[in-house]
Structure 1
Amino acid sequence: MMNCSSKYSPLENLRLVLAVSSLFLFARSAALVNLRGKSFSFTFLDAPARFALKAGSGICGSLQLADPIEACSPLRNDNETGGGSSRFVLIARGDCSFEKKVRIAQDIGFEAAIIYDDQEKSSLYSMIGDSTGIHMHAVFVSKMAGETLKKFARGEEGECCIGSSMDETAGTVLVISFVSLVVIISVLAAFLFARNCRLLRHAARHSRPTTMNRQSVELLPCFTFKSAYVNSKRTADTCAICLEDYKDGERLRVLPCLHEFHSICVDSWLTKWGTFCPVCKHEMNSGE
């Protein structure tokens, strides 16, 4: 922050989200640039250069316009510091690299460079370059911010300060962390959902049939009930499905577990409700 008071798998997607979140989190460090005046105060977003010094606890100085404004050739600005005050220079983007602009500003004694965009864009990006030999601060701001600074800069001692903004940094970290958490949870949920779907499809393909077909049921043995059978060890006197007593002449069907039922009752059970005995839950063999 610049203030101028003044086709992948779910796991690969998760790794990508973490990597992008990390780049987003550390690519930009919030900074506060204060331009003090009698009747104005401005706040702008900035992107500190990756090859320059960090703002640290802060630095203050006077803000001057680069001459020439794009700083692609040696500057004609006065190189006198005057009273030991630090000097900041405002530079327009264009014609040469960020690194060259910063080095030219540093050669004449400036301690910080504020480079503003020459195009209207919705986002900023960190300036890159070789950090060897560079010992000054540098930040990048929007075209609107640069034009405003250009209008209100007075070149007065200590009027502009660049420093860390702990509140902005904490807020940025909090927002990015929350968004990252939501995305990670979404990816994990999608992964678990896809996994469960695969397991259900696999189970459906390999599970045993939930009912028996009519032909398989007809293969089970049957007999005609007589009241004399009630005294035998293998025959009860009541159908466990319909709870009606057996009557002489009724047709009963015997399951492999030796439990018998009305043929019409157990046939309907096996073909419509399940492949197990209603009494002992013994699973039938469909014979397929």
Structure 2
Amino acid sequence: MINVLILLAVSVVLVPRVDSHRPDWLRRFTPSSRDDSNWLWSWAWASDGTVSIVDRSPPVTFPARPASFGAELIDPLLGYVIPLASFTAPCPYDSHNSTERRHPFDPDPVFGCPDLCVSDGSEREPTDTWIALVQRGGCPFVEKARQAQKLGAKAVVVGGDRDNPDALLNMFSERDASDVTIAATYIKYWDYVQLSSMIAVSNTTHNGLKTLSLLISTEYSAWEWYSPIITFIIILLLPSLLTFITLLIHRIRAARAAQRDRAPESVVHSLPWRVWTGTGWEKHEPLFVPADMAAASSQDVERGLDTPNASTSHDVQLPAWVEQQMECAICLEMFVKNDRVRVLPCYHLFHIDEIDEWLIHKKKLCPICKADVTQPRRPPTDHHSEEHAAQPTASTHVRSPSTVAEPNERTPLLQSPGRTSDEPESGS
């Protein structure tokens, strides 16, 4: 999925841009009318073009946008622009011969809405290359193009309306428009007003009508011809892409949480280790770091809090249980000769390869006592002394064995609290 999007993006960047022509090999497989191609053209990103008045120096150029229906302008089209309102009028309506209007809208020469007829009775020559000029509103865009085509125009320029003066629309047809064979383009409202005013004061005439020489051109980018399929692919892949992004964020958070539970390699590799010779330990590294190094590590690296520094510059006396460890708690095997053993801060011993794998990739806690290996080392304690220290002390009322009298025949079986065996019974 992601690879497809990457390949499409790379192809868009690497394909060289073209001026106004599609490649010849692509033109053979593409009909001249966009409505004949497929319904995806209604989703295509619109290409931009220009409408230029060439009989002015310098030429006056307006931005334009071709319609999604009608003919494509492979080459720029040069012709005389004539407003339909200058020579057309609504066709006379015969109520006796027709029971209803042909169109649900009223004919209007300014908007170019059918049905329009030539008011002066003179028809344009079929060989004349002239361009119709109408304004948005009154009827659909495709009906304006049909009316201009019926009157003999080679193209139609549709101007914007006052409600959306700066909008540059992409004109399209909701129904079949394969019968439209002329080009249609859209310009902004104020450009339409300026073009109409320039025609009104023009000295150029054609068949007795004021006009100007207009050049319509379309500028296509290299990727514009692939925009329908790209849009369709993006719509299909968008849910999958959002799901992938959500899973990616979840995995990143889970990886960070797992990383916080592991010990850094530098900390693990700095822990002391021993070599078992079969009868004792050799290559014994100091279990306590010097005081100057311990001072630097006397802070909790995770919480940023000061911790008691229990390290000294010399070895302390270790309890017997530390030296008596002969088995690895991970693999449950006895230490054999030449085994390398890692000594954790809690003084539990493990095979160095096994415990390093556990601390670096699993947990930073001792598998036995769950002590954090990233915390500073603390002095060892004897398990037996801890058990004795945890037992409650005897009551102060109980006398030591040296002060308790030996029982005799006068010692009662049950004694009252606070009374000793050497005190005589009352009444005896």
| TM-score, with length taken from structure 1 | 0.60
8 Å Cα contact 1:51/1:131 also seen in 2: yes
Residue aligning to 2:177 = 131
Q: CA deviation at 1:204?
A: 6.8
8 Å Cα contact 1:111/1:137 also seen in 2: yes
Structure with the bigger RCO (C-alpha within 8 Å, sep 6+) is 1
Q: Deviation string for 1:230-256 (max 9, x for gaps)?
A: 997223484443378868x64252474
Q: 1:198 to 1:256 in 2, by over 3 A?
A: farther
Selected match of 1:51 from 69, 72, 76: 69
Selected match of 1:32 from 50, 56, 65: 50
Q: CA deviation at 1:125?
A: 2.2
Q: Deviation string for 1:193-228 (max 9, x for gaps)?
A: 7555433544577789658xxxxxxxxxxxxxxxxx
Residue aligning to 1:146 = 192
Amino acid at match of 1:118: D
Partners of 2:158 and 2:129 lie apart in 1 by 17
- The answer to which structure has the higher helix fraction is 1
Selected match of 2:129 from 86, 90, 96: 86
SS at match of 1:125: coil
8 Å Cα contact 2:160/2:167 also seen in 1: no
8 Å Cα contact 2:159/2:188 also seen in 1: yes
Partners of 1:30 and 1:163 lie apart in 2 by 9
Select between 116-125 and 78-87 the one with higher mean Cα deviation: 78-87
Partners of 2:54 and 2:160 lie apart in 1 by 22
Unpaired runs of 5+ in structure 1?
A: 1-9, 212-229, 271-275
1:211-250 matched pairs, under 5 angstroms:
233-236=279-282, 238-242=284-288, 250=318
SS at match of 1:84: coil
Q: 1:208 to 1:162 in 2, by over 3 A?
A: closer
Partners of 1:268 and 1:111 lie apart in 2 by 92
Counterpart check, 1:74 vs 2:120:
no
Q: CA deviation at 1:260?
A: 11
1:1-288 matched pairs, under 5 angstroms:
26-39=44-57, 41-67=59-85, 68-72=109-113, 73-76=115-118, 80-81=123-124, 84-119=127-162, 120-129=164-173, 130-153=176-199, 154=202, 156=205, 159-165=213-219, 169-170=220-221, 195=247, 197-202=249-254, 210=262, 233-236=279-282, 238-242=284-288, 250-251=318-319, 253=322, 254=325, 256-257=327-328, 266-268=344-346, 277=350, 282=355, 283=358, 285-286=367-368
Q: 1:83 to 1:159 in 2, by over 3 A?
A: farther
Q: CA deviation at 1:26?
A: 3.9
Q: CA deviation at 1:164?
A: 3.1
Partners of 1:74 and 1:208 lie apart in 2 by 79
Note the aligned Cα RMSD (angstroms).
Answer: 4.9
8 Å Cα contact 1:62/1:160 also seen in 2: yes
Amino acid at match of 1:135: T
Unpaired runs of 5+ in structure 2?
A: 13-39, 86-108, 207-211, 235-239, 264-275, 290-312, 329-334, 359-365, 371-428
Identity %: 16
Partners of 1:111 and 1:77 lie apart in 2 by 20
Select between 92-101 and 69-78 the one with higher mean Cα deviation: 69-78
Partners of 1:260 and 1:132 lie apart in 2 by 85
Residue aligning to 2:383 = none
Q: 1:123 to 1:233 in 2, by over 3 A?
A: farther
Q: CA deviation at 1:38?
A: 3.6
Q: 1:189 to 1:87 in 2, by over 3 A?
A: closer
Q: CA deviation at 1:135?
A: 1.6
Q: 1:255 to 1:207 in 2, by over 3 A?
A: farther
Q: CA deviation at 1:91?
A: 0.1
SS at match of 1:144: helix
8 Å Cα contact 1:89/1:105 also seen in 2: yes
Partners of 2:221 and 2:148 lie apart in 1 by 32
Partners of 2:146 and 2:42 lie apart in 1 by 27
Partners of 1:210 and 1:43 lie apart in 2 by 67
8 Å Cα contact 1:117/1:140 also seen in 2: yes
Partners of 2:82 and 2:187 lie apart in 1 by 16
Amino acid at match of 1:109: G
8 Å Cα contact 2:51/2:64 also seen in 1: no
Amino acid at match of 2:110: I
Q: CA deviation at 1:279?
A: 5.6
Q: 1:203 to 1:115 in 2, by over 3 A?
A: closer
